[in-house]
Amino acid sequence: MKKILLFGFLILASCENKKEIHQVVEISCGQCQFEIAAPMGCDLAIRLDGQAYFIDGANIDDFGDAHDQNTGFCNVVRKAKVVGVLRNGRLKASTLHLLD
């Protein structure tokens, strides 16, 4: 009986709120373009199925000036192919490639 309980506990512990994704998403500044209220400041985010998530593993300035009028994430929404895990309301990105 103890083994069954231990096995059940391990299964539940491994099922923490996460979802792996491999797809094309919208990417931009979470505050400026996706209207995420907190935390304040310009941080990189994706929009997936109408929901915005901040990204861990990439910085908003990794792809050039975030405030550039034509390509900056604070001014435009772009497309990217991402691979990562959604965990606790954030994307833990392992790869991120801009498509435009």
Q: How does residue 39 score in pLDDT terms, banded at 50, 70 and 90?
A: confident
Question: 60-92 pLDDT, tens per residue?
Answer: 999 899 999 999 999 999 999 999 999 988 999
φ/ψ of 60, rounded to 5, equals -60, -30
Q: What predicted TM-score, i.e. pTM, was given to this entire model?
A: 0.77
Asked if the model's pLDDT at residue 27 lies above 60, the reply is yes
SS (HEC) of the chain: CHHHHHHHHHHHHHCCCEEEEEEEEEEEECCCCCCCCCCCCCCEEEEECCEEEEEECCCHHHHCCCCCCCCCCCCCCEEEEEEEEEECCEEEEEEEEECC
pLDDT of residue 51: 92
Q: What CATH class is the domain 18-98?
A: mainly beta
